[in-house]
Structure 1
Amino acid sequence: MNIILTSTALVALAEMGDKTQLLAILLATRFRKPWPIIAGIFAATLLNHFLAALVGHGVAELLDSPAFRIAVALGFVAMGLWTLIPDKMDDNLKTPGSASVFLSTAIAFFLVEMGDKTQIATVAMGAQFGHTISEVALVTLGTTLGMMIANVPAVLLGEALVKKVPLALMRRIAAALFTGLGLWMLGGALHWW
């Protein structure tokens, strides 16, 4: 049970303001079909995080190398800078059907989650807790639950949230968090503090 609780809490907190949460809001405001979006997020996260936990299970010793920690830190800084670039959505497109919304969401979330901080956290938890395949499954369950806790409200409240908090501000905040975390991790990996 500790594996599920730890995985859920860590990912739910890490997902706040994350680019995938911003993607959930963007999809919700664009397609206005929350349930296929939620189903797509669930399917993509389940597959992505199972693979990530499995990788963590298989390469636990790699996570301790300084080169890997530096690469992850630089990845966070790069993601912070990338977050500043707004997504372009064509407002002239027609709203697709539920099956297309599900598929679009699942593919987008799976790809955007690649190298994301929650995926990296899942790899790390797979390395820490995933001594058996059943523990890998528990990590996957917890991290998927954490993603859903963070993203379902974003989907359901996305349009209202966008009206109150501009996406440009949310992107800047997310970029600052990514960059700050990346620099903090880089400083630790290089023993600056």
Structure 2
Amino acid sequence: MVELWAGFLVSFGVVFVAELGDKSQLMAMTFATRYKTWHVLVGITVATAIVHLGSVAIGFGLGEALPTAWINVIAATAFFGFAAWTLRGDSLTDEERRKAQRPARSAILAVGLAFFLAELGDKTMLATVTLATQYDWAGVWIGSTIGMVAADALAIVVGRILSQRLPERTIKYGASALFALFGVLLLVEGISDLAG
């Protein structure tokens, strides 16, 4: 049970921070201007649960196949990459913005499909794969899914109340610093395991 909670808490925190200022968070804000908030949140939740379940399966498989010390070094490298990716930032293309604003028969299906496609290969998916190599798969799956939905819900609420985004620069630097910190911790642990 301790492993489940550890996986949940770490994954929730990492994915919540990773999602702040991410392209899919911008999509959530855009969809919320067209559809009811609960339709958007249901679509996001279903898509995220599916993508992150696949991510966890990949990460769990890697965790079983590779020695722990090398997993830590690879995971550290991935987190440094996530830090750089976060500093670079994300924005919606005109095509993605048009898709988010186009009316659809079913708002939940439209949002879910858009989020499913947007999350494939995204940093939150890759972070989930990485975390699943280290922590309990169920905790990572539940934590990463709830972390992403919570961050997108926050964006929708803030967007609706304030009609503007969170301070992008602060979020970008804070998220990048947290990814780098996770990278340093994993690298130290991996090098320590390899040396021992």
Q: Same fold, TM exceeding 0.5?
A: yes
8 Å CA contact retained: 1:49, 1:144: yes
1:26 Cα deviation (Å)? 1.2
Assess if the C-alpha contact under 8 Å between 1:29 and 1:158 holds in 2.
yes
Q: Distance in 2 between matches of 1:111 and 1:84?
A: 17
Q: State the alpha-carbon separation in 2 of the partners of residues 68 and 123 from structure 1.
A: 7
Which amino acid in 2 is paired with 1:181? F
Superimposed CA distance per residue, residues 23-76 of structure 1 (whole angstroms, 9 cap, x where no aligned partner): 443123333243443233222222223223334554543454322211110110
Alignment of 1:45-124 (within 5 A): 45-62=48-65, 64-90=67-93, 93-94=97-98, 95-97=101-103, 98=107, 99-112=109-122, 113-116=124-127, 118-124=128-134
Separation in 2, partners of 1:161, 1:62: 48
**Bigger CA drift: 13-22 or 75-84?**
13-22
Q: Distance in 2 between matches of 1:70 and 1:3?
A: 21
Cα gap change, 1:152 to 1:21, in 2 (>3 Å): farther
Alpha-carbon distance between aligned partners in 1 of 2:177 and 2:53, rounded to the nearest angstrom: 29
List runs of 5+ in structure 2 lacking aligned partners: none
> Cα gap change, 1:41/1:3 in structure 2, threshold over 3 Å: closer, same or farther?
farther
Counterparts of 1:11 and 1:122, CA distance in 2 = 9
Question: Aligned partners of 2:102, 2:15: CA distance in 1, in Å?
Answer: 27
- The structure-2 alpha-carbon separation of the partners of 1:45 and 1:183, relative to structure 1 and needing over 3 Å to count, comes to same
Q: What is the match of residue 172 of structure 1?
A: 173
State the alpha-carbon separation in 2 of the partners of residues 189 and 166 from structure 1.
35
Moved more, 80-89 or 146-155: 146-155
Residue correspondences, number: 182
The alignment-based identity, stated in percent, is 23
1:173 CA drift (Å) = 1.1
TM-score under structure 2 normalisation? 0.70
Q: Does 1:153 align with 2:154?
A: yes
Q: What is the rounded CA distance, in whole Å, between the counterparts of 1:161 and 1:74 in structure 2? A: 37
What is the Cα deviation at residue 179 of structure 1? 1.5
The alpha-carbon deviation at position 169 of structure 1 amounts to 1.9
Any idea what the Cα deviations from partners look like across 1:2-42, whole Å, max 9, x if unmatched? 67655443322222321367344312333324344323322
Higher alpha-carbon deviation: 39-48 or 159-168: 159-168
C-alpha separation between the residues in 1 aligned to 2:40 and 2:119? 10
Could you tell me which runs of 5 or more consecutive residues in structure 1 were left unpaired when the two chains were aligned: 131-135
Name the amino acid aligned to 1:168.
Answer: R
CA distance in 2, matches of 1:146, 1:9: 9
Query: Does the residue aligned with 2:126 lie in a helix, a strand or coil?
Result: coil
Q: Check 1:73–1:107 CA distance in 2 against 1; reply closer, same or farther (3 A cut).
A: same
